[in-house]
Amino acid sequence: MNSTTDSGAASLGELSMLAQNLGSPRILVVGDLMLDRYVWGDASRISQEAPVILLKADRSEERLGGASSVATLLAALGAKVDLCGITGEDSASLRVRSILDDLDIGHKKVFADPSRPTTVKERYIGRAQHRHPQQMIRVDYEDTKPINKELEERLLEAALASLDGVGCVQISDYDKGVCTPGLLVPLIREARRRGIPVLADPVRGGDWSKYQGSSTLTPNRLEAGLAVGRTLETVQDALAAAGELLEKFGLDVGIVTLDRDGMALVRPDGRAHIFPTRPRQVYDITGAGDMVMAVLGMVLATGADFAMATQLANVAGGLEVEKIGVQPVTIAEILGDLQASGAITHSVENSRGKIALETEIDQRVNEARRMGRRIVFTNGCFDVLHAGHVSYLAEAKRQGDFLVVGLNSDASVKGLKGPTRPVHPEWARAAVLAGLEAVDMVTVFEEQTPLSLIRRIRPDVLVKGADYRLEEVVGGDFVTSLGGRVHLAPLEPGMSTTNALEKAKAFEKIHLSDGGGNEPRAGAA
């Protein structure tokens, strides 16, 4: 297929409007149900029994996985979901149904198969030094043989009976035996006859002919590469593969998800689009594909086109990888992320390009250094900006010519200050800092300390508040070893974010005790 690449991108305003008007469509989800178990704890040491990490467990959690994960994500977005699949007849099945009831997800079309266990994936998550958690091992309990003909016929009858009033059919194939050709082929044919879009998240490898005639498939880079018989190394490779899949399986559009490179989309007329994703802190890719599926289904159920659906799904998939395990992404989070993108763009345009993405740091700093400017670096959370911050940053700027502010990310602030912080998200904090005359560049860092960023920037002067001692300043030894210096800036007495928040809480308490509608009277207790 000859294709022409164009942006095809909707504006942030258009995407925000779409996200706010997704409504509550009815969506039928067909596929493999699973129960995901998580055991969390500190990876404290090596076991004395064997050369393995000892996990000191402190909590456990159960969530729905597979097709039931897609149903969960759809319900969190506001959809009315009917789920069609199977479980075993065991305690895990009871737990799956209990969670579905709690989430108000219909499961009358979920049948029990006593010949197999409910699919369970058990993950053990360890925290190193009480910090960011990482998956250590996964244990699976499953039987992947195809369902028998009797169950296949029952599922097909139930699914066909559910099509009235459905805005989208979603097929979630994890190769656990439910998504047989005998179920999918007639279901896809009837749904398309009725004009209902059908999305299929295909199995890795295997025969994809059972998805013939779907509206689209949502393979990742590896799955699409296996389907076309070659490795997809570039976005152009992905676009070519998307075009091949479109033609081979009679799709409305071809889509390939590309993790850090975003999503590729090809239309029947040859127009091709790459929708990039912005850089994110990736904690766990689990559930990103399910999240993409869920948002695609929600958007297509409204009648919007694939380009709009793909862009919004791309945002939601990016938000999902910032979470541990499969956790719902809400409309509010999607709107917040779109707002963040817009605010950052606005701040760059209106603050002489002061906010630097991770990929722009070296160029910005090196350019300033070539112009003979002395580089000054400081860092902080800058959560609730007050006069003390303004004075501090002005003092920092007086130490040189080009002030770089390292801003703790939201995750970093939460780790330092606790679960109630930050008050303002990183994009908002960056925008405010960029509006200050003293600040020449703002960049966000994810770590608990700015040491890596300091080593990268190699400032001439490192500035911290006078409440530190010289030997306590992170990166101080490194800067002085380069011939630079550390400056301890005086602080405004009584000015701190903590004090500001405590005063706000005290005012709110007095305000509410006065009836919530009047300013507190002079002398009120």
Question: And the tokens for 200?
Answer: 């299929």
- The dihedral of CA 356, 360, 366, 368: what is its sign? negative
Beta strands at 254-257 and 263-266: parallel, antiparallel or unpaired: antiparallel
What do you get for the CA distance between the two ends of the chain, in Å?
76
Of the candidates 52, 77, 81, the residue with the CA atom closest to the CA atom of residue 68: 81
The verdict on whether 290 is a catalytic residue reads yes
Matching residue, tokens 């319900």: 75
Could you tell me the two tokens for 197? 């879009």
Q: How many residues does the chain have?
A: 525
Cα distances from 30 to residues 110, 174, 211, 290, in angstroms, run: 9, 11, 13, 13
Are the beta carbons of 4 and 272 closer than 8 angstroms? yes
SS (H, E, C) 361-388: HHHHHHHHHHCCCCEEEEEECCCCCCHH
Cα dihedral 442, 444, 445, 451 in deg (nearest 10): 10
Q: How far apart are CA 19 and CA 295, in angstroms?
A: 9
Lookup: tokens for 274: 């790459």
* Separation between Cα atoms, residue 124 and residue 39, nearest integer Å: 5
Q: Are 412 and 383 in contact (CB under 8 A)?
A: no
User: Whole-angstrom Cα distance, residue 170 to residue 168?
Assistant: 6
Of 380, 373, 370, 439, the C-alpha closest to 400 is: 373
- R_g over Cα of the chain: 27
CA distance 100 to 302: 24
Helix then strand then coil, % of the chain, to nearest 5:
40, 25, 35
Axis crossing angle, helix 331-350 with helix 426-434, rounded to the nearest 10: 10
Strand partners for 488:
464
CB 409 within 8 A of CB 447: no
Which of 173, 201, 237, 290 is an active site residue? 290
State the DSSP code for 127.
E
Residues 6 or more apart whose Cβ sits within 8 Å of residue 191:
163, 166, 169, 197, 198
Cβ-contact 279, 358 below 8 angstroms: yes
Q: Which positions are catalytic? A: 290
